[in-house]
């Protein structure tokens, strides 16, 4: 691994509190400093990347999150995985935004081992 790496584990749904927006701001600041960012969406956080959200009183989180993930192709990278068990349980496995991979806790374990820091937002 070259450079620093941050893994962000999110567990709450997108409109419960400001957690998702904090996560995105943190990831943006990390990328500005040249840090690679990994997002692991777990439990209700798998709704964050659900396509076609139409909240009435909030900006659609999937759009904001999707932009961060799509920009991840450039250095420093930003990768995203949604937990397969969690997406299946919520019926959103096939509705994840472009760039979000479906994976499992094994992937989180690998990222945690490779990362300089791992934080939990939730």
Tell me: the pLDDT tens digits for 4-49? 999 999 999 998 888 898 999 999 999 999 999 999 999 999 999 9
pLDDT band of 110, cuts 50, 70, 90: very high
User: Residue 115 pLDDT > 90, yes or no?
Assistant: yes
| Structural domain containing residue 23 | 5-120
Q: What is the CATH number of the domain that holds 106?
A: 3.40.1260.10
107 touches 42 (CB < 8 A): no
In sequence order, what DSSP letters do the residues of the chain get, joined into one string?
--S-EEEEEE-S-TTSSSHHHHHHHHHHHHHHTT-EEEEEE-GGGGGTTBTT---SSS--HHHHHHHHHHGGGSSSPEEEEEEHHHHHHHT-GGGBPTTEEEE-HHHHHHHHHH-SEEEEE-
Count of domains in the chain? 1
Tell me: the pLDDT tens digits for 52-104? 888 888 888 998 898 888 776 566 777 999 999 999 999 999 999 988 999 99
51 touches 95 (CB < 8 A): yes
As a whole number of angstroms, the distance between CA 20 and CA 59 comes to 12
Whole-model pTM: value is 0.90
121 touches 12 (CB < 8 A): yes
As a whole number of angstroms, the distance between CA 85 and CA 67 comes to 25
As a whole number of angstroms, the distance between CA 99 and CA 61 comes to 15
Residue with the larger pLDDT of the pair 3 and 35: 35
Q: What is the pLDDT of residue 54?
A: 84
């Amino acid at each position: 691994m070259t450079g620093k790496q941050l893994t962000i584990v999110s567990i709450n749904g997108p409109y419960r509190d400001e957690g998702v927006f904090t996560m995105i701001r943190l990831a943006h600041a990390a990328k500005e400093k040249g840090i690679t960012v990994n997002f692991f969406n777990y439990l209700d956080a798998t709704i964050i990347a659900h396509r076609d959200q139409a909240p009435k009183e909030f900006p659609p989180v999937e759009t904001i999150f999707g932009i961060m993930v799509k920009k991840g192709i450039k250095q420093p990278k930003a990768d995203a995985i949604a937990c397969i068990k969690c997406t299946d349980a919520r019926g959103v496995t096939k509705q994840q935004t472009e760039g979000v991979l479906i994976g499992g806790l094994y992937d989180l374990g690998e990222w945690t081992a490779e990362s300089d820091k791992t934080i939990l937002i939730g």
